Chain A
Amino acid sequence: MQLEQAPSIRTTIVRRLAPSYAAMGRFGLILVMLLMMAVLTILQPAYFLTRENLTNIARQISSNSILALGEFAVIVTAGIDLSVGSVMGLSMIVLALAVHADWAAGMAVAVALLAGLGVGLVNGLALTRLHLPHPFIATLATLNIARGATYLLSGGVPISGLPPIVRMWGADDITLLGGTSFPIDFPISFLIVIALYLAMWVLLTKTSTGRHIYAIGGSPKAAQYAGINIPRNLALVYVLSGGLAGIAGILLAGRVNSGYPTAGTGAELDAIAAVIIGGASFFGGRGTAGGVFIGAIIMGLLRNGLNLMNVSVFWQQVMLGFIILLAVYLDVLRRRAMRLES
């Protein structure tokens, strides 16, 4: 008796609360972000809201947010790209080597980007041409190949010293509103992040390619019957992911003025975490670029805030885990609410 009754009462309660759940889902992430900022402002009043600290955060999250953007495109198709961290390291070393071989700066940047696009293409083709059963496998392979290549190319030692024109993208600030009375020094790397997110948003929501990518993730069968070229679109998202990892490497190399072979070790997990916190579904077809952006910011705020409070990295890892749980729980609530509404 009780067993039969319980769900119905529960359903009524959930139904009554459904609208607020849905709102929570939509604005919950922004709320979590604002709340974190508020708490950090209260706990670290002298430091958190300083311009120096805010530009620090912007620079610190640049490479992870770009990796997360590529990872997001892949996860929308229900795939996964484990190679992004290694590709970032490879791109850094390729850039540094090219610069030290006296290549023109533009060529060096281009070849670093090509390295990223190339690994991405290998991932895409391994999935669509070699028909490897799951992208986990192909990208796990390229994770190791790219990391090994990075050590081989660099001989295991950092290659330091990049020209200012290369460094600028990751290290310098640009003065916005220069003529006005409110000049703002803005990190160039974060402007690039914003531009890339806008471009991805346009691609995914305003073009037929974008709709196809979502469709493939939502239901590959339906996409196939609708005549969508699945292999081409899948290859494209992996190329995008690789290329973005290449850009992340170029920015990070500029920031540290060096290519070092351990760069990006484990970075794929941070990228995946940002995507998941940002509300994308592992089962594909859902998520927005804006959500992933906030996901990356939340991770950056957490690290920065805990660093300011001198908290050990182990607590930072524990907290990051809780944030992931919280974000996904929010999403579960929202989906339940949406099912009840319809």
Chain B
Amino acid sequence: MMARRITGIVTALLVVLALLTPGISEGAAKYTILLSMKGPGSGNPFWAAVERGARDTAKAMGVNLVVLAPPAETDVQAQIAQIEDQIAKRVNAIVVAPTDVSALNTTFDKARAQKIPVLFVDTDGTWRSKLTFIGTDNRAGGVMGGQFLCGAFKGKGDVAIITGVMTTQSIRSRVEGARAAMAKCGLHVVAELPANSDRALGQQAMEDILTSKPAVKGIFAANDLMALGAAEAVKARGKAGKVLIVGFDAIPEAAQAILSGTMAASVAQSPYNMGKFGVQNALRALTKKSVAKRIDTGTVLVTKKNAAQYAK
């Protein structure tokens, strides 16, 4: 009796999951493409936009799309397991934003052994046999953010940088770009604090900066979540609008903060294009068409003038 009850519970749970699974009901499309992101779309609007771009494109082109992501951007092992399991299922192409620049290389070797093309989006990897890298020129974006602060302060005064997960190449490039641009125009970078790309830690880092370096009048944060956290800290100190905060990604909430004046600017990537170009070029590869080695998805400086279109 006990056995039956437990059997019942486990079976029920698995059946419920099977019903929840979108992949099960996939049609008879010719190709299945895996989009493996660093984080789940429901956790970060950026990944949600990548996913939307990929889904819209896959639907328009009539290919199956499987979207998977590890629970956290640092969970390399989970991403490896997900990709391996999909290789075992013989997806036709892999579009991946890797959680580590090289730790997944052996996994991609397995894909290569099965003649599955691998395209990198958002974050470039060190894997030699990649088909292409589709993403933002993060350094150029960082320079763009740094130059905005240069212009705002006419090249004089103290600024600080809030960095993200520094193991991530895209974050490092942004910080490098911003640091170089600000140093070049004469601004002093007096602090560089890590906040793990996390909002609460961004707030905390900003609180520390306000305490230890009160002269700081500009902040470059390597993503918007940290910038929004920093804006919160500045608001709590009653310094709203006096410290200019520049973020990166132009997520809707950041665009609203720019409109309301708690943030000064953000550098927009085009995550939708990453998903879109990812699926388009995977399909090009599968149909034996040529694919460029590097595909730029572009950056735009978002300020009060153009924030409205990013705010929804």
Contact = CB atoms under 8 A, between A and B. Distances in A.
B75 A311 contact: no
A313 B70 contact: yes
A255 B106 contact: yes
A156 B165 CA distance: 9
Contact of A60 (B22, B67, B84, B167): B84
B10 A266 contact: no
A199 B197 CA distance: 42
B77 interface: yes
A303 interface: yes
A39 B81 contact: no
A310 interface: yes
B292 interface: no
Contacts of A316: 71
A333 B105 CA distance: 46
A262 B85 contact: no
B60 interface: no
Q: State the main secondary structure of chain A at its contact with B.
A: helix
A314 interface: yes
B104 interface: yes
A171 B106 contact: yes
Interface stretch (B95-103, B115-123, B144-152): B95-103
Nearest to A25: B2
Interface in A138-161: 156-158, 160
Interface string A181-205: 0000000000000000000000000
Contacts of B11: 35, 39
A308 B24 CA distance: 10
Residues of A in contact with B, size category = 35 or more
A322 B102 CA distance: 34
A314 B40 contact: yes
B9 A256 contact: no
Q: Among the interface residues A32, A53, A258, which one has the most CB atoms of the partner chain B within 10 A?
A: A258
B2 A21 contact: yes
A256 B76 contact: yes
Nearest to A334: B2
A307 interface: yes
A216 interface: no
A102 interface: no
A256 B106 contact: yes
Given A63-B77, A263-B76, A313 B17 contact: no
Nearest to B89: A47
B18 interface: yes
A31 B6 CA distance: 9
B2 A160 contact: no
23 contacts: A20-B1, A20-B3, A35-B10, A36-B10, A53-B88, A59-B84, A60-B84, A158-B100, A171-B106, A256-B106, A256-B107, A257-B102, A262-B74, A304-B85, A305-B14, A310-B21, A311-B21, A312-B69, A314-B42, A319-B13, A326-B6, A326-B10, A330-B6
